[in-house]
Structure 1
Amino acid sequence: MHWLALQWPQPDDALAADLPTPEALAWWALGFTPRVAWVEEALLLEVSDCERLWGGRRALLQRIWQSNPAPDLLQQAQAATSLAALARLRLQVAGHAPPAAVDGLPLHTLSAARPHLGVLARLGCRSWGQLDALPRTGLARRFGPALGHALDVACGRAPDVHAWVVAPERFVQALELPQRADSAPALLWSTRRLLTSLQYWLAARQQGVLALELAWSFDQRRLNGQALPPRQAIELRTAEPVQRMEHIQRLLAERLARTPLLAPARAIRLRTLETAPWQAATRSFLPEDQPRGDPLHRHVERVGARLGAGALRTPVPQADHRPECRQRWQAAEQALPGRGVGPGRNAEAAPSVPACVPGPLDPAWLLRPPQPLAQQQGRPVHQGRRLRLIAGPRRIESGWWSGAVADDGPEPPVARDYFIAQGAAAELLWVYRERPTSASAAGTGAGDRQADAPRWFLHGLYA
C-alpha cells in the first residue's frame, strides 16, 4: 500500500481564504482514488489500487500536484501506512526532516501516544522503535489497548480502517460572504469558490450539470419601507452536461448583470437541480476534427443569458400549405438538443410533424403581409405596368379547418390561385389572385371586396 498525506492551511488561516472548503478538497481527491479520508488535520489518500489506471505512481503523483488547488501552500508526505505518512507530514510542517525508517519517528507524531508523552519519556521511550520494543502486555495494562493497536496500524501489522469520504447524491453548499455584496460582480466573486467545489463534486460523481440554482439571502427584512423576500435566486440550464465551470461562470456573469439585487446579500447558496452522466469527448489527432471556438449551444446560451431568453429566435418548419404559415419562431434555447427531455423538464414534448416541402417554383423571399396590386382589364399592375403571367395557376385552398395563429395574429383560411409573373424590367414576381370563396386577404380587410372583381396580391420575390 502507498499513502499520501496532504495538508493545507487551516480554515481560520488568512492564506486559506481562497481555498475550497475541506469537504470540496476531499471531493477533489476522490477524482484520483476512492479511498480518501480526513484524519485530524490531514487528508489521506491510498493510491496503490489505482496507480495503474493513471499510468504508474509517478504519473499519478504528477497529476495530483498539477491539479492541486494551492500548489504553494500544500504540504505532503508519503509512506506505506496512513499513520506513518501522517507522522512524516507533521515533521515536515514543523520544519524537521523525517527519518528514513519508521522506527526513528518521534513519539509526538503518533496521535495515540500524545496523552502519555511524559510517562513514556521517563521510561526512556522517545521514538516509535523504542515504544515497539516494550512488552505489549505491560503496555496495554499501563496505557490501554489503543496505543498498542495504533502502533500496529502505523507499522503495517494491522489494517488501516478509516471513515472514507463519499460524495453526496446532490450538491448543496452555502457560503457566508466576508462582507455584504451589493452588486453583481461582488456576488460573482464569492460564487467562484462554490463553483470550484461544484466542479470537484461533479468529477467525483462522474456527472455533468444540466441545471443549477444560485440563491442569496439578505441581511435585512425591509428596505425603504418595503418587505423583502427571504432570498433571491436565479436558475441556469444548459443543453449538454457541463463539468468545467468556465461556461457556467460566464452564464452566471451575464445573468447577474441583468438581475438587480433587491438588497445587499450576506450569504449565497449553490445547488444542482439536474445532472447527467458525464461522457468525455473523444479526442482525435486529425486537424479537421479539432474544435475551434465554442460550440453552437454555448453561444446560444451565452447570448440568451445576456439579452434575455426570447431575444434569440430560430425558425421551426410547420406542416401547412399556406406559404405564410410554413414556419413559426421560437426561442433558440428551446431548439437546442436535450431541451424538453429529462427530469424536471417537459417530458411530454409535442410530436414532431413533418413540414410541407416548398414547391420547386416557390420564391425564396415572401412579403409579409402581401401587397395588394392594382388591376387593368383584370390583369395585375406593378409599378404602373401590367404584369405578364408566364406560369400558373397553382391553386391553394387551405386553413379553413385549423384556425391557425401566426406571429401577427390569427391566420384566416385562404383560397388563392398563384402565378409567376414578369415585370417591365424582366424581374420575376410571385402573385396570387383571390378566389371568390376566400374569406379575406392576408393582412387586409374584406369589407370592401367586390364579389365580381377578385383582387391580386404580390406575395413573393425571386432572386
Structure 2
Amino acid sequence: MRWLAWLPPPIELQGGAALQPGAQGWWALRFTPRVALLEEALLLEVAGTERLWGGPAALRERLREQAPAHRQPRFWAEGATAWQALALLRLQCADRPPPRRLPHDLPMDTLSALRPHAQALEHLGCRTWADVRALPRAGLARRLGAPCLVALDRAWHECGQPLPWITLPEHFSLEVELPALAESAQALLWTGQRLLDALQAWLRARQRGVLALELAWHHDLRRIDGQPLPPWQALELRTAEPLQGTQHLRRLLSERLAHQRLAAPVDRLALRSLQTAPLAPASHGLLSPGAGKAGEEGEPWHQLLERLSARLGAQCLRSPALHDDHRPERMQRWQPALAPAAPSRTAPDGRAALWPAWLVRPPRPLDLRSDRPCLHGQPLALLAGPERLESGWWEPPGAADGQGLARRDYFVAHNAAAGWVWIFRDRASGDWFLHGVYA
C-alpha cells in the first residue's frame, strides 16, 4: 500500500465544532476513493489508482497543483501505512529530517498513542518506534495499555487500520462563519469564493455541473430601528449550462451582490446547490486554443463557424446531423453548420456500435463463386450474422439515396485480400453487396 499525507489549512469552526467534516478532502476524491482525515492530516491511499494518473510521480505533481494549499508543496509525505505517512508529515512540519530506516527509527513523539507515555519510555531508554516495539509486549500492555500496542501494530501494517473514509453528501450544503462582520454585500465575496471552491471540489468528485444554487447570509441582529429582521436573506443563481468552474459563478455572484443591500451586518454565510446535472468530460476540439499566430489565442470553434458561414454563405459550410432512419446510409444527413439540430424521435440502435465506421456509397455489387460472395477474387468467409433489416417501406422504389423498401441480411465477412468487411444480401433479388469496411 502507498499512503500520501497532506496538512490541510485550518478548518472553519462554529461553536467549537467543524461545520462540514471531511469537506477539505472532497477535492482528493478525484484521485482515489480512499481518503480519510486522520488527526490533523488528510490521508490518501493511492496504490490502486496511481497507474491511472501516469505513475506515482505524475500523481504527486497533480496533487501539488490542485491541492487547496499547493503553494506549500513541502507539506506532503509518503509512507507504507497511514501512520507512517502521518509521522513523516509531522517531521516535515517540524523541519526535522526523515530517518534512514522506516519505520524503525521514527521518533516516539510522531505516534500519537505514545505521546502521553513519552517520559516513562525515555526512562526505559526508548527513543524510536523500534525501541518501544522491542520491549516485552505483556509488560508494555500492563504499563501503557493495549491501545499503544494496537497503534504500533497498525503502524507496521500487522493489523487492520479502520479509518473514517470521507464520503460525499448527495447535495452540497456548506455554512461558514465570517472572520468579521460584513456590512456590505461586496464584503461577502471573499468568503463566498471559499464556498465556491468547496462547491467545485464537490462537483468534480461527483462528475456533475451546477445549474442553480443559493447563497444565503445570516443577520447578526434580530431587530433594527425597532423593526424585526428575518434571520436569513438569500439570492439564487442560475446558469444556462452545467458548470464546474468558479470563475463564471463568481462573476455572476459579484454582479448580483452589487445590486444587493444588506438589511443588517452579516456573521454567517451559507451556500447550497438547488439543481445539478451530470457533466460529461469535455472533449478537445480539432483546433487547439493556441492555433493562431505566436502570442495570440485561438478562436473558439463556434465563433469560427459563425465567421466562415457569414463570409462564405450558410449553405457552403455543412456538418453531419443524425436522422431518424434505420438504414445505415440514411442515419445522417448534411445540413448547414449553424442550423439547429432536429430532435431525434427514435432511440439509438445499440447494434450500430458493431457496425463499421466507413460505409461504401453506393453499396458495391459482389461477384459469386459457387454461391459464395467474393471480393478481390477471393471468397469471403461469413463470420457473424445474419442481422436482418427491413426499413423504408414508406418510400417509393427508386427514391433518392434510400431506394425505397430495404430488405437485407447483413454479415461480417473476411478474406486475406480484403480484410474485415460488412456485406449484405438483398432478400428481394438475392444479390450480394459490399456496404462497409472495418479499419
TM-score tier, shorter chain, comes to: 0.5 to 0.7
How many matched pairs?
292
**Which residue number in structure 1 is paired with residue 84 of structure 2?**
84
Whichever residue aligns with residue 7 of structure 2, its letter is Q
Conserved in 2, the CA contact under 8 Å of 1:216 and 1:268?
Answer: yes
The equivalent of 1:248 in structure 2 is: 249
Shift of 1:12: 8.1
Q: Give 2:65's aligned residue.
A: 66
Q: Does 1:26 align with 2:29?
A: no
| Alignment deviations for residues 141-190 of structure 1 (CA, whole Å, 9 cap, x no partner) | 33222212211111122233211111111111112222222223212222
Q: CA deviation at 1:224?
A: 3.6
State the match for 2:100 in structure 1.
100
Q: SS at the partner of 2:167?
A: coil
Instruction: Please give the per-residue CA displacement for 1:59-89, whole angstroms capped at 9, x wherever unaligned.
Output: 1100000112123345121111111111111
1:183 corresponds to which residue?
Answer: 184
TM-score under structure 2 length normalisation: 0.61
Q: Is 2:287–2:301's contact at 8 Å kept on the other side of the alignment?
A: no
Separation in 2, partners of 1:49, 1:37: 16
Let me know the Cα RMSD of the aligned residues.
2.8
- Structure 1 pair 194–56 and aligned structure 2 pair: CA distance change class (3 A): same
More displaced 10-residue stretch of structure 1: 71-80 or 49-58: 71-80
Q: Structure 2: 5+ residue runs without aligned partners? A: 14-18, 292-297, 304-439
Q: Structure 2 CA distance, aligned partners of 1:160 and 1:263?
A: 49
Q: Say if 1:22 and 1:59 are closer, same or farther in 2 by CA, change over 3 A.
A: farther
Does structure 2 retain, via aligned residues, the 8 Å contact 1:21–1:197? no
Q: Provide Cα deviations, 1:39-72, integer angstroms capped at 9, x if missing partner.
A: 1111111111110111111111000001121233
Say whether the 8 Å CA contact 1:33–1:45 is kept in structure 2: yes
Distance change in 2, residues 1:139/1:183 (3 Å): same
Q: Mark the CA change 1:99 to 1:21 in structure 2 (over 3 Å): closer, same or farther.
A: farther
5+ residue gaps, structure 1: 14-19, 297-463
Of 68-77 and 26-35, deviating more is: 68-77
Percent sequence identity is 51
Aligned equivalents of 2:300 and 2:186: distance in 1? Answer: 26
Sort the Cα spacing of 1:292 and 1:71 in 2 relative to 1 into closer, same or farther, 3 A. Answer: same
**Rg (Cα) greater in structure:** 1
CA contact under 8 A between 2:20 and 2:174: conserved in structure 1? no
Contact 2:12–2:177 (Cα < 8 Å) also in 1: no
Q: Using a 3 Å threshold, how does the CA distance of structure 1 residues 219 and 142 change in structure 2: closer, same or farther?
A: closer
How is 1:207-356 mapped onto 2 (pairs within 5 angstroms)? 207-287=208-288, 292=299
Aligned residue number for residue 57 of structure 1:
56
Match of 2:129 in 1: 128
Q: Deviations over 1:314-335 (max 9, x none)?
A: xxxxxxxxxxxxxxxxxxxxxx
**Deviations 1:414-454 (CA, angstroms, capped at 9, x unpaired):** xxxxxxxxxxxxxxxxxxxxxxxxxxxxxxxxxxxxxxxxx
Trace 1:418-433 onto structure 2 (pairs within 5 A).
Answer: none
* Structure 2 residue aligned with 1:4: 4
Partner residue in 2 for 1:163: 164
CA deviation digits over 1:337-383, x for unaligned, max 9?
A: xxxxxxxxxxxxxxxxxxxxxxxxxxxxxxxxxxxxxxxxxxxxxxx
Q: 1:68 to 1:212 in 2, by over 3 A?
A: same
Q: Using the alignment, how far apart are the partners of 2:70 and 2:152 within structure 1? A: 32
